[in-house]
Structure 1
Amino acid sequence: MARTVLHLANTRGHANHGWLNSFHTFSFAGYNNPERVHFGALRVLNDDTVAGGMGFSKHPHDNMEIISIPLSGDLEHQDSMGNKTVIRENDVQVMSAGTGVAHSEKNHNSKQEVKFLQIWVFPNQRGIKPNYGQQTFTPEARHNQLLEVVSPTADGTSVHIQQDAWFHLGNLDQGFTTDYAVKKAGNGVYAFVLEGNVTINGQALHRRDGFGIWETDKLEISADSKAELLLVEVPMEF
């Protein structure tokens, strides 16, 4: 029988620093919940809003896969690998920190907020050479389907991650139903509802709710309203 964990939106950690309004699904910074440290290899899922002209100054990371998914606005990225870019809505960015990298992230616009998901996944190999990837995915490509945007396969169709993990995004019409087949035995799937209402394996979920499910090979998904959904498949043992 499948095992599950439910994280309702209003149970997340929250920190409002004025320039940064952040909701933490898992323990992060000042939010420490020993029952919500990670879901398998998924370590951080932060739902961030950054005020115009503000951002995170240069800071280091190592041995972590860092995924950024802008939901609105434009996020400016610079790193010690020499990358300087802007990621926008419909972009997905992955930075493999490996042996160590420093980066900064700031709102590219002075008057408009930027909203984005910051996600950390433990890698399957430590001490690798740092790497950077970014790709644009059209909204049409994920209309009424689960579009693969992050995967361990470096074939150019999705952004590469140093882990047996897959991310899918879907923009679903009300009444749409589909299945998701777990890609690797022993993996679990963490579903995060970006907008709207969905039901997954009988569990009703609403905006910004999170639902982890493992020890199953399939998810049954139905959109109870127009909805946007993120699925993160990760190893439960790593």
Structure 2
Amino acid sequence: MIPQSKGKMYLSDERGYNEMPWFRTYNTFNFGRYFNEHKQPFGALYVLNEDVLAGGNGFRMEIETASDIILLPVVGAITVSTNDGHNGLLEAGQVQVLHLTRGTTFEVRNPYENDLVKFLQLWIKTPIATSATLTTFDLSHKDQLHTLINNDTYSLSIGKFNGRAETTYPLKDKAKGVFVFNIEGAFEVQYRLLHNGDGLALWDVDAIEMEALSSDAIILLLEVAM
């Protein structure tokens, strides 16, 4: 029998869910009114939301703990602004990191009149202030992981894979854990099957092995302080 690394699955259909006529959100961890005793933060990562916004709509949130807010459009583009002066457009193929202190508010809006947009939010507790960064990436370079962000607290990577393509992610810091989120398609990660929206937390591991089980499958990996 092949030994499995220590891990925990976060199934897509077990996520928190909230819907309004103009907005849908799926919550991997406890968020807002959603609470499940088994969906506590994974290390410094405490929010992972998959959000859908209707045209011309937006929302505003206030940060309660100093955090890096990572925004990654999956479909379309969003505008992002904060009450301390940041304002910009973020498109699919880009990732934005904002370090926000307690009491800071940020707003996300759909700039299109009629089209839906979909994006990911990741919130990571990071007491050390970092500068706002915007990184562009190209998923047409397939079958490899692209490092988007790399700092002392976490490292974020993304990749798009052909069916049956394999790769290995060696941890940069073996004291950290890895959270894997399946954006599109199907993967086998450390001998566990992941479908769209599934997450997998792994710890006490030196490297992560994965294989795409469908064409154009997209996966996100966050190596994060525990």
Q: What's the TM-score, normalizing by structure 1?
A: 0.88
Kindly provide the CA deviation profile for residues 17-39 of structure 1, in whole angstroms up to 9, marking residues without a partner as x: 22110000000001111211211
Question: Hey, what does 2:218 align to over in structure 1?
Answer: 228
Read off the aligned partner of 1:222 and give its amino acid letter: E
| Equivalent pair of 1:61/1:102 in contact (CA under 8 Å) | no
Question: Hey, what does 1:134 align to over in structure 2?
Answer: 134
d(CA) in 2 for partners of 1:9, 1:57: 25
d(CA) in 2 for partners of 1:60, 1:41: 15
- Report SS of the residue matched to 1:139: coil
Q: Does 1:118 align with 2:121?
A: yes
Q: Does 1:206 align with 2:195?
A: yes
Judged with a 3 Å threshold, the aligned counterparts in structure 2 of structure 1 residues 136 and 61 are, in CA distance, closer, same or farther, namely farther
Question: Hey, what does 1:46 align to over in structure 2?
Answer: 49
| Equivalent pair of 1:73/1:114 in contact (CA under 8 Å) | yes
Q: Does 1:22 align with 2:25?
A: yes
Correspondence list, 1:29-178, <5 A: 29-57=32-60, 59-60=62-63, 62-98=65-101, 100-123=103-126, 125=127, 128=129, 131-141=131-141, 143-152=142-151, 163-178=152-167
Q: What's the TM-score, normalizing by structure 2?
A: 0.93
| Equivalent pair of 2:63/2:101 in contact (CA under 8 Å) | no
| Equivalent pair of 1:62/1:101 in contact (CA under 8 Å) | no
Unmatched 5+ stretches in structure 2: none
- Cα root mean square deviation, aligned: 1.6
Moved more, 131-140 or 190-199: 131-140
How far the C-alpha of 1:140 sits from its partner, in A, is 2.6
Unmatched 5+ stretches in structure 1: 153-162
Question: Sequence identity, in percent?
Answer: 30
Read off the aligned partner of 1:15 and give its amino acid letter: N
| Equivalent pair of 2:60/2:105 in contact (CA under 8 Å) | no
- Report SS of the residue matched to 2:132: strand
Kindly provide the CA deviation profile for residues 70-99 of structure 1, in whole angstroms up to 9, marking residues without a partner as x: 001110111233222110100100010135
Q: Does 1:185 align with 2:174?
A: yes
| Equivalent pair of 1:61/1:97 in contact (CA under 8 Å) | no
How far the C-alpha of 1:144 sits from its partner, in A, is 0.9
How far the C-alpha of 1:166 sits from its partner, in A, is 0.6
d(CA) in 2 for partners of 1:42, 1:208: 17
d(CA) in 2 for partners of 1:61, 1:53: 27
| Equivalent pair of 1:191/1:212 in contact (CA under 8 Å) | yes
Aligned length: 222
| Equivalent pair of 1:97/1:131 in contact (CA under 8 Å) | no
